[in-house]
Chains A and B, each alone.
Chain A
């Protein structure tokens, strides 16, 4: 017989958003179960060696991996209310029974029936097509971070980075911290997508950032031993100029897309929003979806920074606890929203604000 458990609030994902949601909900007295597919909690935070930007409320100036510790300490204060299952992957949601199925490790299966659910499943990396992109040595940027910053394993000797957004720039710098050479960063767009401060750091260390360039093909028989890169014109067509790069790793930092399968299974109204980088759930200001028992927070609601994910997690945790009739400090709701608005202010927040405007609902039709 498959083991079955119940809980007040199931939090799917133990990263920046999920841990914040769990901390908030458990402090109101809700019994919270956090399910995490990785072997440990912390999500992307545990891989970040740089100091965060944003605002002091979201730990600006603190290195990412230390923020994970702060959140874990906060959860520990209410540990009697929090059950954590790591190495556990939600495999499906059965809407007719309100039942989740999950796999612990590779062989053990369980069922979880929560009263309320917060989906904080984060994101997955995008892949771009080029010949030989399937053979070993072509790695996702998140995977490279896990290998070197969590387990201390060097990913290779010489890396070609694809993408000059914040992730491509930050991971290039992290590779150099780990003693790995970065051959070049290639970027198809005519300008660097990430913050200038990250780009400047790797330029100072002599790494070329090749704008209007892309990868033509990866080279190698059984494993990667090089790449051919090509120059692009202003219509993204190859100019014919090509160059061979010696490398044993090609790191893809070409964007993320929200992980939302569970929200779709739960019947939440979804919409494709380019500014949020994929299909996301419509939501109200409490981060509740069109399914009244489901909330969502973090990158699963649209690709944004970890700072915003943590505030969204707070809002979802607070409001899911409130829906159970638990006493919550309701002035916190307005405070969290002012923090979120602050993080999304100005020119850098323009894209996110446009995306969020497309999915925010004042009320749900019955």
Chain B
């Protein structure tokens, strides 16, 4: 394995920072005076600038610096966070991403424009700085009279590894006012246990300054998450008790510090109470550790697990014919471990849909600007987990759906008021899991789908006969036809007639389906039903001739026996009447040219995609099979009957039938036969 390019490592880190920044900014838009959000954005900007410079992304660093400066002012209470600033920095963020991806490109014009916007936003914000200070006295109050603070801080042992110099904090504190520093070396281990690269010291500082508590906290801004920090305000202006002999005015005299007496009036009980307080503070809570692993390695691991399962099943076969109890026990143990390992493997690939939903907040932000409509985006069920590949492939279809909802679904402010609805339109993204499927829905409270217009459009396009009676659901489904769009005006957002059919294709390629519900005047809901993962499906294992095949279980509607008489009667035609409806069927034995005799008890497996059904005639239904999907080689690209392959317990390969394709094959066959008749 070669070492990864450091620039790539930075890119991954930068992507994360930009993501945090975007989320922070979008939250900030709603809670402009939330200090923690301002800090979070500032930190992301600062780190991006720092790491960018470190990895040679100098233009990025230089550009980010301007945004950082702007946010620094907000943080210090010198300026106010305004919607203009937030949106300028949001745009700047997109530019930062461009700089990360293509540092050598020509960005000069873009940069100038963005900096002008930023400048305009900043000068707008400075106009009211006093107001902000007055508004939030509790947070940014600047006491005019000098106060004496007592600050105790300890840093984690690995502080030096991160390149942090504790002395710099002391220097900053000293710059704020009169300062007395006492070294706390109570945690210093005996010499033989001392690790020279670790930090064991803590400091106790008495600071007399006219600066606020927030200013003092800012000194520790970048280490705050990992450190223990206590800042004690003076109790009602009463002078603090002397902490330590004033001899130690200089930290550079460690020998003297070591010799100094520990502060006698150190309040021990409080120190003991500190861990409890730490636990309560969400910032100090232990972060969930995660490891970034390239997806190919997961796939590799999956292959290894697949192999192991095969070896295990061989072992099981040997054990079954052996009388050795020990061997049998080991085999059973192996079986249990293998199935657990497989389950764990599956879980590894799952990520919460929150990662997907978060992207649409930005989209909605931009849509508000472009459509001039007020839109509230709400989400729920973000913790629902799905396979990462599925999530990636859902991203684009959902963009279409959200855009459609914003552009076609939601009315403008006036129309909404006239209809007695709140002025801001609502778009709701929700996810929930039912069995092996996740249902993701996009709901708007707009005008709903205009059936008359859909009908008119469909008639004009020749999709339905004029005046034909058509079920409501079927009528609605027409909007998924290629080239269909009811918007009379083409906007740059949507309405080009591409979109819905693209969405439908994308969802079908994920083995999913789309439901559409719409009430005139009340809004629409598009629900996507998606299997949890692409890597594994529940399948029905069947035998056709000598080959074994897997039919994806979600597509299976029912299995019925095909008696010999019925089989003979149906010779020559390709329909069976099933509860008064004619179902076209395909004899897989003939399609696959097995050259075998039909089994006396053939079965028909009825599969469907949405409304269309087709019966597949198989020789035998073997049973349910959890299928790990392997893709087919490029050499078999021309074979459309199969969507993939899987490895069975005995190590042999079974092909997975592509239901969508077989159904359309059945439909074609039906159309041909109708034409003949």
Q: Do A and B come from one complex?
A: no
- The chain A residues found within 8 Å of chain B, CB to CB, are none
